[in-house]
Amino acid sequence: MSQINVPTMADYMAKGETPEILFWVGCAGSFDDRAKKITKAIVKILNHVNIKFAVLGTEESCTGDPAKRAGNEFLFQMQAMQNIQVLNGYEVKKIVTGCPHCFNTIKNEYPELGGKYEVLHHTQLVQQLIDSGKLKVEGGEFKGKKITFHDPCYLGRANNEYEAPRNIIQKLDAELNEMKRSRANGLCCGAGGAQMFKEAEKGNKEVNVERSEEALALNPDVIAVGCPFCMTMMRDGVKHFEKEDKVQVLDVSEMIAKANDL
C-alpha cells in the first residue's frame, strides 16, 4: 500500500499557504472502519493528481445533518455555525466531501447561516479530474465486470446528481446495469433521516434488505455506492443474503483507486 499524504489546514496556515480545496472527510469517513477505506481512496486520488488539498483534521466536526433530519434544529445550527466559523477562519472557498449528507448540508443549508462555498461530492470532483485530463482511468480489474450503482438519496434526488458516478463507472469499461428503481426513482438504503442511528420501526422487512435484494437480482460483481452510510447498509444487505464472497460493495472512489493501482 502506497503512503498517503494528508496535510491539514493548520499545516498550510503555518506555511502561509492556502490549499486549492478542502477535503471534508465527515464522521463516517473519519471513524467508521469500512468508510475510512473510502476516505483513503479519495486521498490517494487527490495525491495522485497532485491537487493541493487539506483536511480540517481534529478541527472538523459533524455537519449537524443527522441532528437536523431527526428534528433537532438547535443542535444542527450549533454545529453549523461552529463549522462555518472554522471554515471562514481558514477562508475556505472550495470543498469536496466524502459523503452526500455532508455535501448536501454544506452546499444547501450552510449558505443561509453564513457559510458560502463551492461544494462538490467526491464523484463530481473525480469526474472533473477525468474530464480535464488530470486523471486517466482504465478499466483495470473492473473491465467487463457487471456493476450496478445505488443512488444515494442526498446526491441524487436531493441534488439532482445522477450522472457523475455513472460516467466514472463507464470509464472503467464495466457493464453498468441499472436497477428498476434507479436515479430519481432510486430506493433509499434505509440509513437516511437519522435511521442510521436507531432501530427501524416495526415492519415486515428491513429497507436495506429490500434494496440489496433488488441489486443482487442483477447478479452484479460489484454494487457501487457513493455514500458511507449506503456502504454500511448495502454490505449488511449482501451479508444477509450470504453473498459477501461473490459480490463486492465498493465506493466509486475505491473503484477508481483500485483500477489505477493507487
Partner 1 sequence: MISSIIFIILLALGFYFFYKNISKIRRNVLLGKEVNRSDNSSERWKLMALVAIGQSKMVVRPVAGVMHILLYVGFVIINIEVIEIIIDGIFGTHRILSFTGALYNFLIASFEWLALGVIVGCVVFFVRRNIIKLNRFMNKELDGWPRSDANYILITEVLLMSAFLIMNCSDHLLQVREYGHYIKAGSFPISNLLSPLFVNMSSASLVFVERGAWWFHIIGIIAFLNYLPYSKHFHILLAFPAVYFSNLKPKGEFNNLASVTNEVKLMLDPNAAIPPAPETPLKFGAKDVLDLNWKQLMDAYTCTECGRCTSSCPANQTGKLLSPRKILMDTRDRLTKVGKNIDINGTFVDDGKSLLGNYISEEELWACNTCNACTEACPVNLDPLSVIMDLRQYLVMEQSNAPAALNGMFTNIENNGAPWQFSPADRLNWASED
**Please, are residues 112 and 81 in contact by the beta-carbon 8 Å criterion?**
no
Here the cell at position 20 is 486549492
Selected from 20, 73, 138, 163, the binder of partner 1 by CB under 8 A is 73
Selected from 187, 222, 234, 250, the binder of partner 1 by CB under 8 A is 187
Binding mask 28-47 vs partner 1 (x if CB under 8 A, - otherwise)? -xxxx---x--xx--x----
Selected from 19, 24, 60, 137, the binder of partner 1 by CB under 8 A is 60
As measured in angstroms, the least distance from the Cβ of 133 to partner 1 is 28
CA distance 189 to 19: 34
Identify the three-state secondary structure at position 224: strand
Site for partner 1 in 241-260 (CB under 8 A): none
As measured in angstroms, the least distance from the Cβ of 121 to partner 1 is 11
CA distance 4 to 90: 23
CB closer to partner 1, 117 vs 142: 117
As measured in angstroms, the least distance from the Cβ of 53 to partner 1 is 12
Binding mask 76-95 vs partner 1 (x if CB under 8 A, - otherwise)? -xxx-xx-------------
Selected from 115, 165, 190, 220, the binder of partner 1 by CB under 8 A is 190
Residue type, 116: K
End-to-end alpha carbon distance in the chain: 8
Selected from 123, 124, 148, 159, the binder of partner 1 by CB under 8 A is 159
What is the CA angle 226-81-228, rounded to 5? 15
Give Rg (Cα) of the chain. 18
Selected from 14, 50, 198, 245, the binder of partner 1 by CB under 8 A is 198
Here the cell at position 140 is 483495470
Matching residue, cell 470532483: 125
CB closer to partner 1, 123 vs 137: 123
As measured in angstroms, the least distance from the Cβ of 137 to partner 1 is 25
As measured in angstroms, the least distance from the Cβ of 51 to partner 1 is 16
Cβ neighbours of residue 133 closer than 8 Å, sequence gap 6 or more:
none
Write phi, then psi, for 223 (nearest 5 degrees). Answer: -100, 115
As measured in angstroms, the least distance from the Cβ of 169 to partner 1 is 22
Question: In whole angstroms, how far apart are CA 36 and each of 26, 99, 118, 168?
Answer: 10, 12, 24, 21
108 is an interface residue for partner 1 by CB under 8 A: yes
Identify the three-state secondary structure at position 200: coil
Residue type, 15: K
Selected from 192, 220, 226, 228, the binder of partner 1 by CB under 8 A is 192
Selected from 158, 167, 175, 258, the binder of partner 1 by CB under 8 A is 158
